[in-house]
Amino acid sequence: MIIKQAAERVVLVGPGPGLLDAAVTAGLDVWVVSDTGSGPPHPQPPAGLPAHQLLRVDFADPLALRDVLARAVAEHGIGHVLYLASDLERGLGSGAAAAEDLLRELSPAVGQPTGRLPDAVAIRRILNQSRTSAVRAEEARSIAEARTLAEDFPLPVVIKSADKAGCWWTVPVHDRSGLDQWAERAVTARHSAPYLVEELLTGAKFQVETLTVDGMHLVAGITPEGNAAPLPDGEQAGVRATVRALLDLAGYERGTTRTDVLVGARGSRIAAATEPDRERTGNGRSRPAVTSGIERGTDR
């Protein structure tokens, strides 16, 4: 009988400890591909993961990695091959490129997320309307209107706007001089409406990295930024709940996100949320998709 592969089965390529723990805790049926090469060591899989689900290959050998992934997908009915952008920065390198090439062959839909994270303006609307992480925010239709709103808040504020390439910029503005500089840059870079003026959030800053599989949001890491101290378990749970609430409200189904969260006297509040796998890099290229769904038939 031909059936659709189970989305709950996943291969994690060179996972960091956060992604691995999150996937196992979420109850996913996990296969792990780790690197036998000279790159940074990958964590030992959790006790109890079956031996046949622990795969090792030299990531410097793209053909070998492609073969391991292809056999795992075909033999075990695996629905997703996953890795995080942060794991690429830890040395996954050519292995990630090989994985993406294979996935594009396996499914024409690979790399096309089922839903994109909304832009900064829509995210703030969603949060404020739901009263989840609500902050004072106003939309402007021109640079002049944004200037007036910023002065009325009063300063300091954060102004968010998109350039002609569609990339969003978040600029903290602390005084009149900074507001003048923002306006000049917005004109030069041809930023377009809407412009979002928000109160400047204060508190300890944390970067929350998540990976979503079929609407299931895996929190792979909560990383302190600057001088922020690691959070106790209770406050980490609040941060996870806030980020997952945003992703649920946005209808986010598949992909990876990075969310900046400020923790202070008013609790956990979201400052920004992005899809780092779709960010433009300095060379003008886009990073590869971080999660790919595969829908193939297999005889059972």
Split at pLDDT 50, 70, 90, the class of 281 is very low
Q: Is the pLDDT of residue 187 over 70?
A: yes
Instruction: Give strand pairing partners of 263.
Output: 204, 268
pLDDT of 68-80, one tens digit each?
Answer: 888 888 888 887 7
Q: Map 137-163 to HEC letters.
A: EEEECCHHHHHHHHHHCCCCEEEEEEC
Region 52-58: mean pLDDT is: 89
131-145, 190-204, 260-274, 279-293: the lowest-pLDDT one: 279-293
**Out of 12-26, 72-86, 210-224, 255-269, least confident range:** 72-86
Least confident of 22-36, 191-205, 237-251: 22-36
Q: Is 46 buried (19+), middle (13-18) or exposed (0-12) by CB count in 10 A?
A: middle
Q: What's residue 126's pLDDT?
A: 95
pLDDT of residue 16: 78
Query: Is there a contact between 110 and 103 (Cβ–Cβ < 8 Å)?
Result: yes
Average pLDDT taken over every residue of the chain: 80
Q: Which residues pair with 216 in a beta bridge?
A: 213
- Please report, rounded to a whole number, the percentage of residues in the chain having pLDDT higher than 70: 75
Omega of the bond leading into 154 within 30 degrees of 0 (cis): yes
Whether the predicted pLDDT of 2 surpasses 60: no
* Domains of the chain, start order: 2-113+290-299 (3.40.50.20), 136-199 (3.30.1490.20), 204-274 (3.30.470.20)
Whether 38 has a pLDDT exceeding 90, the answer reads no
Burial 80-111 (b: 16+ CB within 10 A, else e): bbbbbbbbbeebbbebbebbbebbeebeeebb
For the residues 157-166, what does the mean pLDDT come to? 92
Average of per-residue pLDDT across 20-40? 80
| pLDDT at position 128 over 70 | yes
Residue 73 has what pLDDT?
Answer: 83
Higher-scoring residue by pLDDT: 121, 167? 121
Least confident window among 8-22, 128-142, 180-194 = 8-22
